[in-house]
Structure 1
Amino acid sequence: MTEEYRTSFTVEQLIQSNDFEVVHKAVNVDRVRLYTPEFNRPGLQLCGFYTKFVSDRIQIIGGAEWHYLKALDPEVRRSRLKTLFEHEIPVLIVTRGQEIFPEMLQFAGEHDCTILRTVDPTSRAVNNLINFMDAALAPTIRKHGILLDIYGVGVLIVGDSGIGKSETALDLIVNGHKLIADDSVRIRKLENRLIGTSPKVTRHFMEIRGIGIIDVERLFGIGCIMEEKEIELVIHLTQWDDFADYNRLGIEDERVSILDISLPKVEIPMRTGRNTAVIIEIATRNFKQKEMGYNAALALNQRVLESIEENKRNR
């Protein structure tokens, strides 16, 4: 099961993730959400031009805007700022550590708008904001499965409900590997990478049929958990089928697409007596070997071809 998110972030998250001085904090700072990775420098608006003004974005007062406001007659400045705040902007950021005009504080209080300040020059502040917004607003889905760090590789284990994913993951944790998410994996697309995390509510918990909920961090220690991990390999657990055509050589990799990023996939049929955890460990080691340029199936194939050629020459 895959569920897509409409990504957003709150002004509170913006404050917590960046080094801003909070000049004025709105009462509803944890409820004001932004949905676009864009910002606006309201130079034209401070001149009185509001046609096509995008008021739902972060508003940045840089050096040029600040010096323009400073040069205005106090009554005119008051009027221009009053109009800006009347458009219900979500947050105002002042760069270069510049003075906060008293009118800004007054209208921010009247319209419950957060004002932040940074000593960074505008260009650096903008770069930091872009990096934050790209991460916060990255395309995101929620996928049913388990995410583990196995030998440093982010392995997403998927399969039908009841197939034994959690029990297999528990075996892997006992073997020293690390849990990132159980049952529900939140996957974000950052450039050409997929980053998996757990929903905050279920973080570090697992459900084991017959036992119930367990706390992995408390049972096995902090060394057996991680907050997030790049997903590099997908393991698909399936029911054993005597008539299925399973991959027996591994010359050609199967692949699966998640958020338009292609990942290698290994299908492992479940059967009584098979040590699935060990098989997943071997699949992960094999993946790492392939990443380093060695493919055992191709090596064997080459050896067979060389043997055939040698037999032909010896006839």
Structure 2
Amino acid sequence: MILHASCVAHRGRGLLILGASGAGKSGLALEMMALGAALVADDRTALRCEAGAIIADAPDSLRGLIEARGVGILRARAHGPVELALAVDLDRAEPERLPPDRRFGLFDGDLPLVLGAGRVHLASMLLQYLDSGRADTELRDS
């Protein structure tokens, strides 16, 4: 399955970045890369289910490339396939200060979901989530 999404990896855990065109998927990926994450895929992400895990990778034609709006297509070190641990939706803003355990259904499973539209410091929060999960929910994602 090819999804209109970007993906980064941090310490072996993948983040699927969802949103409409212009929502900031590539911008968030670039910001996270500047903080130590690695590019898996930009704009189009290939997904497969493997032994109950959801694996993300880049289509060969886009591997190691990321769009920087107003600058051009940039080269980046390609990470390769990664198991997804989290998804963020850049089209929807989180209305709750301490949100419930939201989920994004994919294949026969689901991923923890963060609603990230307009969120300040989102890249840092997502990197910390990938590192350690949430303390205020059952850690089904760790």
Is TM > 0.5 for Structure 1 vs Structure 2?
yes
Q: Which has more helix, going by share of residues?
A: 1
| Matched-pair contact (CA < 8 Å) for 2:54–2:83 | yes
Cα deviation digits, residues 125-162 of structure 1 (max 9, x gap): xxxxxxxxxxxxxxxx1111111112332111111110
Q: 2:85 aligns with which of 208, 216, 232?
A: 232
Q: 1:200 aligns with which of 43, 48, 60?
A: 60
Amino acid at match of 1:253: D
Residue matched to 1:246: 95
Amino acid at match of 1:236: D
TM-score by structure 2 length?
Answer: 0.86
Distance across 1 between alignment mates of 2:126 and 2:20: 17
Give the percent of matched residue pairs that are identical in Structure 1 and Structure 2. Answer: 29
Distance across 1 between alignment mates of 2:110 and 2:92: 24
Whether 1:282 and 2:128 are equivalent positions in the alignment is yes
Amino acid at match of 2:91: T
The 3 A distance-change label for structure 1 pair 207 and 262 is: same
Query: Partner of 1:257: helix, strand, or coil?
Result: strand
Q: Which has more strand, going by share of residues?
A: 2
Residue matched to 1:163: 23
Whether 1:210 and 2:70 are equivalent positions in the alignment is yes
Query: Partner of 1:148: helix, strand, or coil?
Result: strand
Q: State the shift of 1:283 in Å.
A: 3.3
TM-score by structure 1 length?
Answer: 0.41
Residues 59-78 of structure 1 aligned to structure 2 (within 5 Å):
none
Residue matched to 1:262: 110
Q: State the shift of 1:172 in Å.
A: 0.9
The 3 A distance-change label for structure 1 pair 172 and 204 is: same
Q: State the shift of 1:196 in Å.
A: 0.8
RMSD (Å), alpha carbons: 2.0
Structure 2 residue runs without a partner (length 5+): none
Larger RCO (CA under 8 A, 6+ residues apart): 2
| Matched-pair contact (CA < 8 Å) for 1:266–1:283 | no
Distance across 2 between alignment mates of 1:193 and 1:263: 10
| Matched-pair contact (CA < 8 Å) for 1:233–1:263 | yes
Number of residues of Structure 1 aligned to a counterpart in Structure 2: 138
Whether 1:191 and 2:44 are equivalent positions in the alignment is no
Residues 43-82 of structure 1 aligned to structure 2 (within 5 Å):
none
Q: State the shift of 1:166 in Å.
A: 0.6
Cα deviation digits, residues 77-133 of structure 1 (max 9, x gap): xxxxxxxxxxxxxxxxxxxxxxxxxxxxxxxxxxxxxxxxxxxxxxxxxxxxxxxxx
Structure 1 residue runs without a partner (length 5+): 1-140, 218-224, 299-315
